[in-house]
Amino acid sequence: MNAPLLPDMGDGKDPGAFRTIGEVAKTLGIRQHVLRYWEEQFPMLRPLTRAGGRRYYRPEDIALIAEIDRLLNREGYTIRGAKQALKVRGKRAGTAVREDAVELTSSASGVAVQAVAGLVQSLAATDFASLAAELGGIRERLAVAIEDDAG
């Protein structure tokens, strides 16, 4: 699956880090009020909000903002046209995501079956009686240690 192309944030943070509206605005050269307006106009742009309404943009939000900026300010789309272009792109991306998910699921199924079989074998080989006895001994030593510590 393809990761969104992110602009270089140049802030020294991990590329996967969340960023505030101020950080995004400064890096992309887009005013904060414009970002808030775009959140109203583009329903797919939904940053996380914390207490007090503080926004935190995920990497995929930042990639979407960069795409909206490109469509509106470089390619001359209207907001309506940009929404339509993003919707078409989203449908294509959704198809790719579904294909990736099917591939991942089928390969993961084989791995999961092997993992479960291994767990069943290890559980069958476990001597629960000796494990219970060992845990009982640990419990007794802890009780003595707590008693000594309190006394």
**pLDDT value of residue 36:** 96
> Rounded CA gap, 140 and 146, in Å?
10
Q: Evaluate whether residue 40 is within a structural domain.
A: yes
Domain count, the chain: 1
Q: Evaluate whether residue 98 is within a structural domain.
A: yes
Reported as a single tens digit per residue, the pLDDT across 52-96 is 889 999 999 999 999 999 999 999 999 999 999 888 877 665 555
Q: Evaluate whether residue 61 is within a structural domain.
A: yes
Burial of 55 (0-12, 13-18, 19+ CB in 10 A): buried
Q: What is the DSSP secondary-structure string of 5-48? A: P-----SSS-TT--EEHHHHHHHHT--HHHHHHHHHH-TT---E
Mean pLDDT of the chain: 81
> Rounded CA gap, 151 and 149, in Å?
6
Contact 47, 57 (CB under 8 A): yes
**pLDDT value of residue 35:** 97
**pLDDT value of residue 107:** 60
The helix or strand, by DSSP H or E, that contains position 56, with its residue range, turns out to be strand 55-57
Q: Evaluate whether residue 78 is within a structural domain.
A: yes
Q: Evaluate whether residue 119 is within a structural domain.
A: no
Cα angle vertex 105, ends 122, 99, to 5°? 170
3-state SS class at 49: strand
Structural domain of 26: 19-102
Q: Evaluate whether residue 49 is within a structural domain.
A: yes
**pLDDT value of residue 105:** 59
Q: Evaluate whether residue 72 is within a structural domain.
A: yes
> Rounded CA gap, 78 and 101, in Å?
34
Taking 70 as the pLDDT cut, the residues of the chain under it are 1-10, 91-113, 125-126
CATH number at residue 35: 1.10.1660.10
